[in-house]
Chains A and B, each alone.
Chain A
Amino acid sequence: MAGILVIAEAAGTGVTRESLETASLAMRLAAAMQQPVCGALLGAGDLANAAAQFQCGFSALLLVESPQLATYVAQQYVAAVQSLIAKVQPAVVLFPHTAKSRDWAPRLAAKIGSGLVLDCVNVTVEQEGVTASKPMYGGGVLAKLVVHGDPALVSVRAGIFECAQLSSGGAVERMELPQLAAHPGIQHLESISIEGAGGQRLKDAKTIISGGRGIGEKDNWHFIVEAAAALGAAVGCSRPVADAGWVSSSSQVGLSGALVAPDIYIAVGISGAIQHLAGISSAKTVIAINNDPEADIFKRADYGVVDDFKEVLPAFVERIKQLRS
């Protein structure tokens, strides 16, 4: 087995940013290994446009296009990736770390007996073999892990690498999705979509304002919503807020939520636990509003205001409106 297989996720009519980031790590790793990179795209709709965006100088680009991928069913993804591996025979498979891949990849690893490391911030080739760098302990510790297996499987955290440049490569080839019998143990009844609280996909948002436990109660959440509307920002939250049900879990930022990469991230009433900070490592400018001057968020933030958010936020929003008009 040789070379790298990089698997992209299609989104709408294009390809996700995380996919392009993963491709750039793949190209870097390929240069070190002096081996080729083969690309692959999975999606439900017509992948022609996504395929045009996912041209990163691959030796070949394989498209697995099937309406059966429209609803996420783990077995379909496992089967699709397994058939890609059978065709390409790669030494390493890279893919973005997403809600889907954190579910299908461990199933695949267990099925084929391959080593897998999820949510990595780098992959290198060392004397011992393919080595993944992975944050542990919520982000307080960085581990180096040698990944064994044919192939070694690694998912890549969003927001760490630049997107790969467009560059022409080898032929585009379509592959059939293997036909699967329904899994006898699990039946998909229904998908219930979650309204994004800010009406904007958190991961793509340029500005995000997030509220934490310091907001105090659900009845105070309007402070965050109003500020978001005035700023044109997406709404995020910390885990206690999602756990309490003030907003849905899809708005949660952090290790077990969304990894975001906005130009501006405003954290209100958030203490700055490492698990939360893990989600904003790619934010360009971080602003914190917190009444505790010792809060850890001020170690990550670029600018901070120490005070009650109920005093700070409305005045901040009013002034922004004035400045913009």
Chain B
Amino acid sequence: MNIVVTIKQVEDPATPPSHMVLGASGKSVQSVSGVPRVMNGYDANAVEEALRLKEKHGGKVTVVSLGDSSARNTLKRAIAMGADSCVLLSDPQWELLDSFGTATVLAAAIRKIGNVDLVLCGRQASDSDAGQVLYWLAEMREFPVASPIVKIEESSADALVVHSLLEEEYQRLSVKLPALLGISSEINEPRQPSPKGTVTATRTMVPTWNAAALAVGPLTCKVDMTKLEIQIRTGKAELIEGADGAARGRALADKLHQLELL
């Protein structure tokens, strides 16, 4: 099975807003104090699921990332986890792309890779929280798409049975390959890189494809960012006192009763 996983390098989502600053353009956010950037969490789940499918069916896992040169680190992490090859998609004109633009570049890369059976994407990125790229990509490649996927129940060379999460139900879907899936965190626990994988990653040269290499022309965004604002929370709860935990629990009940909340 020939699998492509799209991965994004993001600011660590555990960074509190008080440790974030706006980038020079005012249209990006970065962490202060050199907090390292990480692989988007759902994308790590997607890499893990791809590796499991490869272990079962054989084939190849290629990871692609659209980003600046620092995104090499995230691609190398995927190699260290066990991915077979990687490509960085990078061009100065791609700095502020929206979902449509990002998907256009990814679609061109997938076309260039060729013979792809399955594309796995994280269900959304933890920085933009947009949740759209995978759908645009599926439309451009004319792949059937389902998301958010919490389980791959069955897999064969030409079809999958997956569980997609709705509000109060799972849908069991049969998906014919080639297809695209948006992966959610319930599906697995991503593996840590192995020592051997880490060595392989260190030695890996990351190829870069730019706009010329992919024959992607200038892109006009469908959504333009005009402003970003960091939101810092400063409130403080009234703490309920008492001799011990149980006393505090009772005092909390009394307080809520007195306020006619319960």
Residues of chain A whose beta carbon lies under 8 Å from any beta carbon of chain B = 72, 98-100, 102-103, 106-107, 109-111, 113-119, 126, 128, 131, 134-149, 183-194, 196, 201, 207, 231, 239, 242-243, 245, 249-250, 255-256, 258, 263-264, 273-275, 277, 285-289, 293, 296, 298-308, 310-320, 323
B252:A274 contact, CB within 8 angstroms: no
Neighbour of B173 across the interface among A115, A186, A296, A314, CB < 8 A: A186
B224:A187 contact, CB within 8 angstroms: no
B128 interfacial by beta-carbon distance below 8 Å: yes
Task: Give the docked Cα–Cα distance between A156 and B129 (Å).
Answer: 14
Min Cβ gap A17→B in Å is 14
Contacting residues, chain B, for A307 (C-beta < 8 A): 244-245, 248-249
B29 interfacial by beta-carbon distance below 8 Å: yes
Contacting residues, chain A, for B168 (C-beta < 8 A): 193-194, 196, 201, 250
In the complex formed, the residue of B with least CB distance to A242 is B186
A305:B226 contact, CB within 8 angstroms: no
Contact A314 to B29, CB < 8 A, known contacts A109-B136, A302-B238: no
Q: Residues of B within 8 Å of A, CB-based: how many?
A: 86
Contact A107 to B135, CB < 8 A, known contacts A140-B230, A304-B239, A319-B254: yes
Contact A146 to B231, CB < 8 A, known contacts A298-B237, A302-B238: no
A304:B167 contact, CB within 8 angstroms: no
Min Cβ gap A265→B in Å is 11
What sequence of 0s and 1s flags, for each residue 123-159 of chain B, a beta carbon within 8 Å of any chain A beta carbon?
A: 1101111111011101110011111101000000000
B249:A106 contact, CB within 8 angstroms: no
B212 interfacial by beta-carbon distance below 8 Å: no
B226:A145 contact, CB within 8 angstroms: yes
Task: Give the docked Cα–Cα distance between A4 and B231 (Å).
Answer: 30
Contacting residues, chain A, for B213 (C-beta < 8 A): none
In the complex formed, the residue of A with least CB distance to B166 is A99
A303:B129 contact, CB within 8 angstroms: no
A109:B237 contact, CB within 8 angstroms: no
Instruction: Other than A107-B139, A191-B170, A312-B249, give 18 A-B pairs with Cβ distance below 8 A.
Output: A110-B139, A116-B99, A128-B224, A136-B128, A136-B228, A138-B129, A144-B228, A145-B225, A145-B226, A189-B161, A273-B14, A274-B17, A299-B234, A300-B237, A304-B240, A305-B240, A305-B245, A320-B257
Min Cβ gap B255→A in Å is 6
Contact A185 to B144, CB < 8 A, known contacts A72-B166, A136-B128: yes
Task: Give the docked Cα–Cα distance between A100 and B185 (Å).
Answer: 19
In the complex formed, the residue of A with least CB distance to B170 is A192
Q: Which of B61-69, B111-119, B174-182, B197-205 lies at the interface with chain A?
A: B174-182
Neighbour of A111 across the interface among B17, B139, B173, B186, CB < 8 A: B139
A115:B261 contact, CB within 8 angstroms: no
A–B complex contacts, Cβ < 8 Å, 5 sampled: A117-B223, A249-B150, A255-B129, A304-B239, A315-B249
Neighbour of B175 across the interface among A106, A113, A186, A302, CB < 8 A: A186
Min Cβ gap B231→A in Å is 6
Q: What are the 10 closest A-B residue pairs judged by CB atoms, nearest first? A: A311-B245, A185-B144, A315-B249, A115-B222, A106-B135, A110-B139, A140-B17, A319-B253, A316-B249, A315-B246
Contact A144 to B253, CB < 8 A, known contacts A239-B185, A264-B261: no
Contacting residues, chain B, for A296 (C-beta < 8 A): 16, 233
Task: Give the docked Cα–Cα distance between A188 and B170 (Å).
Answer: 11
Contacting residues, chain A, for B230 (C-beta < 8 A): 140-141
Contact A141 to B17, CB < 8 A, known contacts A72-B171, A183-B144, A299-B236: yes
Task: Give the docked Cα–Cα distance between A298 and B233 (Å).
Answer: 11
B24 interfacial by beta-carbon distance below 8 Å: no
In the complex formed, the residue of B with least CB distance to A252 is B186
Task: Give the docked Cα–Cα distance between A282 and B169 (Å).
Answer: 24
